[in-house]
Amino acid sequence: MGGRFQVTPPYSAGHIPGSTMWMMEDSRSILVTGDLYTRDTKLLVGAKPVKSDILIMESTYAGRNHEDREQVMARLKARIKEVIDDGGRVILPTFAVGRTQELIMNLADTGYEIYVDGMGNSITSIYLNTNGFLRSKKEFQRALEKVIEVRGGNRMRQRALKSDIIITTSGMLDGGPALFYIQNMLNDRKSAIFLTGYQVEGTNGRLLLESGTMNIAGAAVKPEMKVEFFDLSAHAGHDDLVSFVKQVDPETVVLCHGDQREKLQEALEGYNVVLPFNGREIEV
């Protein structure tokens, strides 16, 4: 492709608020997805396919599908109810960008006392003061009125410890107020830590899921709380990626950001699929 590219206004990628897909055109068109999620949630409208000649797309979950998101959310709500009915409290370690706000949207109407702590509150302020990020700013504002944001120091956190649900960063337990709350509830067998995001290898969250232990202030601890994982990934699963490609219907698909790209390549028979590698120059 030669000449000077024309870049159109971005399209929503559905991954997190503000995530975008970009179309570049000269004699032909290139669509670059970045991180991609194609299904609608309460917080965001999923990415919609845009016709292009060349598609450069992520492939994080090539070869793997997610459980239906609504079913996962229903299970999460059911487990939260069981814990609270038994006299416990629930800590939801949460990503600041996107996941904090999605949980607020989904849990605000449960009638429980919910505190929200950490960097997610700062991100929420950005979304409220910038148009175009959310599916419905009004609905999000209504949900936000039903939770309590921790905007102070230790006094508010002590109150949060007595609430039903605490939504707090960090989502992988490597820092943030989540460690404060867990440290104060370590021996509470009735309470629970429910993880809703991918836990990268080497993080406290992965360690907790695999061994039941984690590190706080340099010391290994073993919470007696219940620990469970709920898959609320913001990346499209295998079947949704295949469907997206077929609706875009490009001549060439360039698969990035994935460690099982070959499985997606196999499912895209009839398309010219390119698997780039670091240091390898490709021509499209």
Instruction: Tell me the C-alpha to C-alpha distance, in Å, between residue 266 and each of 21, 33, 37, 214.
Output: 24, 20, 21, 39
pLDDT at site 1 = 47
Architecture of domain 69-229: 3-Layer(aba) Sandwich (3.40)
Only one residue has tokens 């698969």, namely 255
Question: Chain centroid to CA 164: how far?
Answer: 23
CA atoms within a 13 Å half-sphere pointing along the CA-CB vector of 139: 15
Contact between 165 and 79 under an 8 Å Cβ cutoff? The reply is no
Contact 134, 143 (CB under 8 A): no
* CA atoms of 165 and 223, how far apart (whole Å): 17
- What's the mean pLDDT in 196-219? 96
Q: Give me the pLDDT at residue 278, please.
A: 86
pTM value > 0.85: yes
- Asked if 176 and 169 touch (Cβ cutoff 8 Å), the reply is yes
| Residue ranges of domains in the chain | 6-65+235-274, 69-229
Q: How far apart are CA 118 and CA 108, in angstroms?
A: 18
User: pLDDT above 90 covers what percent of the chain?
Assistant: 90
Instruction: Express each pLDDT in 112-168 by its tens digit.
Output: 999 999 999 999 999 999 988 999 999 999 999 999 999 877 899 999 999 999 999
What CATH class does 6-65+235-274 carry? alpha beta
Give me the pLDDT at residue 244, please.
98
